[in-house]
Amino acid sequence: MSRPSRFRRPELVHQLAAALRREITRPWTLMEICGGQTHAILRHGLDQLLPDQLELIHGPGCPVCITAEAAIDRAQELAGRPEVILCSYGDMLRVPGSSARTLLEVRAAGGDVRIVTSPSDVLAIAQAHPARTVVFFAVGFETTAPATALLAHQALALGLGNLSLLVCHGRVPPAMEAILAAPECRVQGFLAAGHVCTVMGEEEYRPIAQRHGVPIVVTGFEPLDLLDGLLQGVRQLERGECRVINAYPRASQAAGNGAARALMERVFTPVDQHWRGLGVLSGSGLQLRPPYDVLDAERRFGATIPWSAAGNGIAPGEPASPCISGRVLQGLARPTDCPAFGGRCTPERPLGAPMVSAEGACAAYHRYRA
């Protein structure tokens, strides 16, 4: 039996759902931090199997969704320069900036914007076009940051003077801290993203669990992974515990991936960064450290307004959008609470980033619940 089938067996799914219904005795609220987990929960209908006392809140764990509008504006400005080839992952081309313009529209207007599937594609493009400046708009959490770090290391080793990086990677633990510190927070425990912990391990999560008194369960992405994570989270809440538990041992280890972590620490240093919907979060971004900072696109082209600290880009007097993606990203509202959901805002014509990305909560609801 293949691995995906093994973790989707209906009889085992219903057994875990029944165990949740038996063991829960009071209302609890858990947040799955990862957008990939949100999609899996809705795709497999797991939310419809849960007891009424258990509420799931969808977190901001979609790197495309939380990328600041000002960062997208900066990428669009660079992409419009005739000497630049701008590369990024596919979803980023459809995310609107502060003017509602996208990188796809910049490309339609003549900008050289290219979709890549990995940083190795960027390396090949830079080598093939030595007379052009290739800028990689690098997004993602700790799962994709090691690949960007490797690209930076290779570029420096090869002496590629025409490659620059616009680094917009985010770190998950500071976002969890911000959510828990918010006055409106109702989160009592987390499902942590298994792929992030596969890289980073559990070390950063233990202080969060103890400081805020919340259980954190490292969880995978298959139905059995998610239901087991929920069950272990509920068991801790029922017992008054607040520990970090690894429910994804087949992929994630306590120390994470030592080689990937060492490379990230060599290339990057944490910095404050603006997250769409959450504001500026301390230590939530990554910045190139010397000697890799010679690859920084802002250093090459000159910084305008530092996008890491910029706001949402709405000009005074500009009509406010009906989009409530900020509240969705904070877990304070569901996509279906938005007056534009499914009408003015669809995956084909999105108003907000959560309707664009393959991991966005709004796109998940539109696909599986609309």
Q: What residues contact residue 218 under an 8 Å CB cut-off, 6+ apart?
A: 192, 193, 194, 197, 202, 205, 229, 244, 245, 246, 247, 248, 252
Q: Could you tell me which CATH class the domain 3-63+180-246 is placed in?
A: alpha beta
d(CA 62, CA 193): 11
Average pLDDT over residues 1-10: 73
pLDDT tens, position by position, 292-308: 999 999 999 986 544 44
pLDDT tens, position by position, 121-149: 999 999 999 999 999 999 999 999 999 99
Whether residue 252 contacts residue 197, with contact meaning beta carbons closer than 8 Å, is answered with: yes
d(CA 346, CA 367): 10
What are the boundaries of each domain within the chain? Answer: 3-63+180-246, 65-171+256-309, 325-368
Whether residue 235 contacts residue 227, with contact meaning beta carbons closer than 8 Å, is answered with: no
pLDDT tens, position by position, 159-209: 999 999 999 999 999 999 999 999 999 999 999 999 999 999 999 999 999
- Is 3-63+180-246's fold the same as 65-171+256-309's? yes
Domain 65-171+256-309: assigned CATH number: 3.40.50.11740
pLDDT over 80 at 315, yes or no:
no
Bridging pattern class, strands 244-246 and 268-275: unpaired
Q: What residues contact residue 154 under an 8 Å CB cut-off, 6+ apart?
A: 123, 160
Cis peptide before 207 (omega within 30 of 0): no
